[in-house]
């Protein structure tokens, strides 16, 4: 039996790693040990519980008003105390958070091979998104196995000198989670949303929280308010718990009769809201994957993206962070059925629901317990172009680009 440590700390990590943890638990020769850093305390625990999972070790690193450096240092110190006693044969981290970076460094420092799940995403700009772009580049340098969601992500890694034999294209595990959630989501999870199924208005699911967007949050909030002025439109904002985000957004949107603000919803409730929504306007990385998978036109609040496949496929569009740009792009979709249908019918390039099993099979192969799995091949041929765009920091795709 081989021990595999799984280090997670945020809600997105819990969502995307839950199918992997379940697949690890089902493997006869792998013993997963789930380590929670608690970076997103309440949201992390709620998400794990929704999947019927719990952490084996909880580092409880969060404290009020911590800086990124302080969070990272506390995670490293916590892993320093716990990791040596586990005898782990591999350590899995996901994505690009402070937990990801600290977990990878801890594994590297202790000689435990690091497996990077959701490897190879690149925006081409070190500061966007911040600090995620820097984190994932750094993690790539200390990882022994790189599990790339798409062929474009694999190409990014190859361009950085990562050996091809250490890369497996798995698809994105968020699609596995999404398919599971579709069978389990039963309620919206907030009293203000109880009438949503009977509301005839079009629903725009809106959110913004990334650190690189903080200087523009008031402008983004003003865009949400103007979108809600459109007749027959309801804007729902599950507002991030970060005090800086709330201070910027709440004063702008408060009191509008067609805006509903809630706390962050439990994962299953959020999936139900996502399925009900007509349109997504967000800077969330998960929304850029979940929206296309559900056929929801997704407007991304950024000028660059590390998830360019959906932009190339035509189901997502970069609209920047200015009030006018966001409003114009949103109203275009709300007022033009042809433009809306074009985005809603575009292909999903991110997965087929078998990414978690490919992930576990890749880990097993790495540890000498099985064969290398067949790699994920998307149905839509956008990946080579997407890789080129992801490496081009000057690219600003404000219009969907044709597949090559």
Instruction: Catalogue the active-site residues.
Output: 96, 118, 132, 209, 211, 240
- d(C-alpha 404, C-alpha 318), whole Å: 19
Assess contact for 234 and 260: CB atoms under 8 A.
yes
Assess contact for 213 and 319: CB atoms under 8 A.
no
Find, among 398, 395, 328, 350, the residue nearest to 128 by Cα. 395
Q: Is 265 helix (H, G, I), strand (E, B) or coil?
A: coil
Contacts with 239 (C-beta within 8 Å, 6 or more apart), sequence order: 207, 245, 246, 249, 250, 261, 262, 263, 264
Tell me the CB-side half-sphere exposure of residue 52, using CA atoms within 13 A: 7
> What sign results for the dihedral spanned by CA atoms 238, 35, 48, 374?
positive
The two structure tokens encoding residue 120: 């190879």
- d(C-alpha 129, C-alpha 123), whole Å: 8
How many helices and strands in the chain, by DSSP H and E?
16, 13
Assess contact for 35 and 59: CB atoms under 8 A.
yes
Report the length, in residues, of the chain. Answer: 404
The two structure tokens encoding residue 300: 């991304």
The two structure tokens encoding residue 2: 């081989």
Cis peptide bond prior to 131, omega within 30° of 0: yes
The two structure tokens encoding residue 309: 């496949």
Look at strands 259-262 and 233-238 and give their pairing: parallel
- How far, in Å, are 209, 288, 315 from residue 292 at the CA level? 20, 7, 6
From the CB of residue 239, how many other CB atoms can be counted at a distance below 10 Å? 18
Chain Cα centroid distance, residue 37: 18
Burial of 96-135, coded b for 16+ CB within 10 Å and e otherwise, reads bbbbbbbbbbbbbeeebbbbbbbbbbbbbbeebbbbbbeb
């Amino acid at each position: 039996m081989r021990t595999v440590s799984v280090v997670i700390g945020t809600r997105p990590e819990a969502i995307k790693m839950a199918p992997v943890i379940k697949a690890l638990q089902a493997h006869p020769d792998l013993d997963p040990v789930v380590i929670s850093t608690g970076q997103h305390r309440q949201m992390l625990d709620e998400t794990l519980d929704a999947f019927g999972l719990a952490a084996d070790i909880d580092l409880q690193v969060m404290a009020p008003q911590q800086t990124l450096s302080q969070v990272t240092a506390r995670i490293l110190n916590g892993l320093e105390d716990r990791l040596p006693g586990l005898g782990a044969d591999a350590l899995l981290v996901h994505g690009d958070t402070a937990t990801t970076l600290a977990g990878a460094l801890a594994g590297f420092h202790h000689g435990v091979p690091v497996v990077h799940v959701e490897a190879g995403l690149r925006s081409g700009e070190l500061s966007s998104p911040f600090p995620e772009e820097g984190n994932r580049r750094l993690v790539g340098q200390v990882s022994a196995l790189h599990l790339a969601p798409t062929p474009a992500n694999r190409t990014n890694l190859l361009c950085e000198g990562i050996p091809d034999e250490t890369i497996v294209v798995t698809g994105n595990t968020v699609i596995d989670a999404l398919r599971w959630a579709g069978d389990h989501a039963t309620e919206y999870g907030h009293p203000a949303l109880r009438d949503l199924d009977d509301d005839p208005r079009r629903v725009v699911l809106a959110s913004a929280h990334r650190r690189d967007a903080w200087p523009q949050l008031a402008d983004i909030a003003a865009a949400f308010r103007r979108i809600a002025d459109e007749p027959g439109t309801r804007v729902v904002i599950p507002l991030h718990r970060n005090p800086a985000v709330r201070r910027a957004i709440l004063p702008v949107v408060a009191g509008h009769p067609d805006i509903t603000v809630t706390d962050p919803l439990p994962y299953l409730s959020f999936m139900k809201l996502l399925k009900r929504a007509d349109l997504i306007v967000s800077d969330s990385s998960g929304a850029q994957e979940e929206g296309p998978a559900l056929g929801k036109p997704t407007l991304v609040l950024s000028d660059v993206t590390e998830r360019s496949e959906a932009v190339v496929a035509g189901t997502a569009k970069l609209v920047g962070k200015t009030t006018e740009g966001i409003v114009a792009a949103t109203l275009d979709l709300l007022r033009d059925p042809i433009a809306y249908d074009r985005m809603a019918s575009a292909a999903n390039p991110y997965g087929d629901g078998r990414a978690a099993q490919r992930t576990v099979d890749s880990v097993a192969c790495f540890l000498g317990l099985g064969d290398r799995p067949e790699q994920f091949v998307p149905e839509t041929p956008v990946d080579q172009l997407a890789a080129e765009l992801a490496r081009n920091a000057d690219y600003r795709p404000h219009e969907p680009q044709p597949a090559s």
